[in-house]
Structure 1
């Protein structure tokens, strides 16, 4: 192999870093990892999925191990001019939360290149899986299914990193019963904002454990998570029910999530609602034969509310699953001729969004701006929200181009010791406007988002943002409410120089 070939230098670099990591090099200080300043690396780390915010870092770090990452963070923290630091997985944020202007972006996927890294490892007794934070949830699913096991709480889209969703909350139609993903973690490894490498759990370094779960990356970087497992179902009954009346739609959703004991085998496993506003809002679940009459219903009603429910089954419960569903659906207020059902594998259901993604990619409609708006809306305000936002702003402006989700969750499935902040009512809804726009008109959707906020403010509906940063520290203090003092104290404890995750604009307002 020629000494000037790219492969040669790659091998030398990896061997040198491995020797330093193992403590075998006498000159480890000379081999200390430095951020890359390559223009290609800088450009790739300057934007996120939203394609709205552009913010270039000074450099991009490609750590080989959590220890190497900790060494860099510690050195940076102790320097006379420390730089801000942001962890980046798939950068599926929409307003620059994974960016670090003039700082350092950590490429988390480089941790996966270490053959001795965490990877994805199911425990011998099958009770949990240890996962590197850089791993994707789709890969966690594939590995655990080989053992007939799976985590119980998911996001709708599985091509996200474990560390990324645990830094936010991780929600979907399973949340009403099993809680968000942050409520389903046994243990974490974290590199704090001062460079300490810490293993934490509810019983060990618990302040850090609860801080980083839903902590928006403010206290350090998750590098490993221990996730509980349960037996995976063999298949699922997947049903969509359509409504023309929002009161009946929300009443039925709240009724269905009231049966939420984790061990109750007769309860549903997934409840999620959405709005159908045009033919474009129909997803592949609905067959071509059914779509014309659904479009006709939308035309007559203006808005059609779609309730999506799932019931798992295994070999033992398969003979009774239809009867169980019949009982659960009895008395619901959906339109009687608009019940649609599929029987699919567990994997097919969980990975359902992938097919839509690949279709959008094929049409060039994936890598476009995403002026999303995600809110938590208290139950007390959801009827007014429907009248003022869905029927008022959304229907009248008629610009919605992506999924519009609306479904309830139970507050008692969230752990108040964690950083994530939700409305102070026993039931609250998540509302997601998952817009896709052109590069020349995303501001139009931003204007609608602002109108939604203004309506909530004038109507006295105390909503909370999810997956989006507020503009000022004062707005963040209102968001966290009674948790704000604890949030600030933890920041002082684990990141006293305010270096971690500047793109959230909590302590590093631009």
Structure 2
């Protein structure tokens, strides 16, 4: 439970355990007033159900999951209601104070972190909104879940299983907030069939940059619905969502195949996707101690015994170069949480709090070999750490949200090439890794590729963003002016500023 911020709390200037409460904003000093006194010119903070304070812990809300930047918000809102978010956004607009939702509230809170790796969710000198209090699953009925934006995907998935349902798309690290992930898309091993998590949203409740609360969907306020999903937090704050659910199978057969021939790996990856013979599909490149790379195709076949998975259909599309690896049947619940031991081991070894310069690019299938020549020709195991290098095929037709800007490709096929870097905490050259990311980004763009909004691409200019969005740039700029006219929302993305 949160501490309520009453008018008495504000005037006393303190909320025990939460930090120093703010009385109002001094526009001349561009700073908060925290004690009673002359109030001429001070913009009084509206009455709230939650708290708006100067954080007691200076490190709280200063970093995101990537740990590459430190930016200090001047105040933190712990909302007691959606009304608080509306009130604070209106207040911020009137006083030209930037606002961002940041699910990372200090050391040890990465399990509910925002989907931000390069300062996108940080707000220097502004107001950070903690989404965790908005953490209610309102209902799970046949085919749909009604949830607050602060709920994590793992929490919802486990609740849905109680009714024999599951999420169409589930990300590898599922302890992220739903609102933060929907703002960038949300990809997983079933995205070849079901698209992104944002493609499986029925409706949203959004607080715009004017403080208005709007319910939007494909049939109501469609422009806002399309803008907010995969919108990088630029047009509104997602506070509640209706998410599609599907019937769950009870069991997953996990199978793997390894390759030394990259061309065969890429060919089989596409063949599996085209034939639809696996329910969950991911591919990986793994460095070898003596140099070079091997490739791994990791698949999940969903079934409910006594029915058996379609392994024969899978084998029929694979090439002779595919070497079978381990296979196991897992309960669906265990499958959904299968990466948790890996994340726990990284935390225990001190990697989780290290700098993580991830890079996620989309490259047309026909251009992927040339891109991998560049990336794998330069990348080393030390530069990756224990993090995976994912190479997974996608079909443009499964990604229906306009916010996804997709690469030039033939036959609607492209690969997601993601460097999930987790270098050692004492890695000596983080700037060098970021410069390498920029080179890899430029190479992908030269091949017609596009970026995923998650990741660390340094020195993105207005020209870079215009080139990224292409013909959609003018339309998105107009939507920004409409829904966030003071340009206060999520400035860390740097798209329009």
TM-score, L = length of structure 2: 0.84
Is the 2:51–2:79 Cα contact (8 Å) retained in structure 1? no
Question: Per the alignment, do residues 104 and 334 of structure 1 end up closer, same or farther by CA in structure 2, a change over 3 Å counting?
Answer: farther
Residue aligning to 1:36: 53
SS of residue matched to 2:134: helix
2:284 to 254, 261, 274: 274
Distance 1:129 1:314 in 2: 23
Match for residue 137 of structure 2 among 115, 119, 132: 119
Q: Does 1:404 pair with 2:418?
A: no
Q: 1:15: Cα distance to partner?
A: 12
- Structure 1 stretches lacking a partner, 5+ long: 1-6, 18-27, 113-117, 261-266, 280-298
SS of residue paired to 1:352:
coil
Aligned equivalent of 1:134:
150
Secondary structure at the aligned position of 1:258 is classed as helix
Q: 1:471 to 1:337 in 2, by over 3 A?
A: closer
Please list the CA deviations of residues 48-69 of structure 1 after superposition, one character each: whole Å capped at 9, or x if unmatched: 1111111111111111111221
Which is bigger in relative contact order (C-alpha 8 A, separation at least 6)? Answer: 1
For the pair 1:463 / 2:449, whether they are aligned, the reply is: yes
Question: Relative to 1, partners in 2 of residues 1:336 and 1:410: Cα closer, same or farther, differing over 3 Å?
Answer: closer
Contact 2:99–2:490 (CA under 8 A) maintained in structure 1: yes
> Partner residue of 1:477?
466
Query: What's the counterpart of residue 120 of structure 2?
Result: 97
1:427 and 1:242 map into 2 onto residues whose CA distance is 22
Q: Is the 8 A contact 1:85 1:105 kept in 2?
A: yes
Higher strand share: 2
Superposition deviation, residue 463 in structure 1: 2.0
- 1:462: Cα distance to partner? 2.0
Structure 1, residues 194-217: CA drift from partner, whole Å, max 9, x if none?
100011110111111111000000
Size of the aligned set, in residue pairs, is 446
Per the alignment, residue 96 of structure 2 pairs with 82
How far residue 14 of structure 1 moved from its aligned partner, in angstroms, is 11
CA drift at 1:415: 1.5
Per-residue deviation, residues 50-107 of structure 1 (Å, max 9, x unmatched): 1111111111111111122112212222x2x320110112134111011011111111
1:176 matched to 2:162? The reply is no
Q: 2:332 maps to what in 1?
A: 346
Give 1:360 deviation, angstroms. Answer: 1.2
The aligned residue for residue 490 of structure 1 is: 479
SS in 1 for 2:384: coil
1:495, CA displacement in angstroms? 0.5
Question: Deviations along 1:366-395, whole A, 9 cap, x unmatched?
Answer: 1111011111111121011122221x1125
Q: CA deviation at 1:37?
A: 0.8
Q: Which residue of 1 aligns with 2:430?
A: 442
Tell me the distance in 1 between the aligned counterparts of 2:255 and 2:132.
37
Q: CA RMSD in A?
A: 2.4
Structure with higher helix content: 1
1:121 is displaced (CA, Å) by 1.6
Asked if structure 1 preserves the Cα contact closer than 8 Å seen for 2:78 and 2:129, the reply is: yes
Match of 1:329 among 307, 315, 330: 315
Q: Deviations over 1:323-353 (max 9, x none)?
A: x212222241254553321111112112122
Structure 1 residue ranges, 4+ long, deviating more than 3 angstroms after superposition = 9-17, 28-34, 334-338, 453-457
Q: CA deviation at 1:155?
A: 1.1
The residue that corresponds to 2:24 in the other structure is none
Aligned residue for 2:201, secondary structure, equals: coil
* Alpha-carbon spacing, 1:220–1:334, altered in 2? closer, same or farther (3 Å): farther
Deviation string 1:220-277 (CA, Å, 9 cap, x unpaired) is 10001101111111000111100111111111111111135xxxxxx42111100111
1:153, 1:180 within 8 Å by CA — same for their partners in 2? Answer: yes
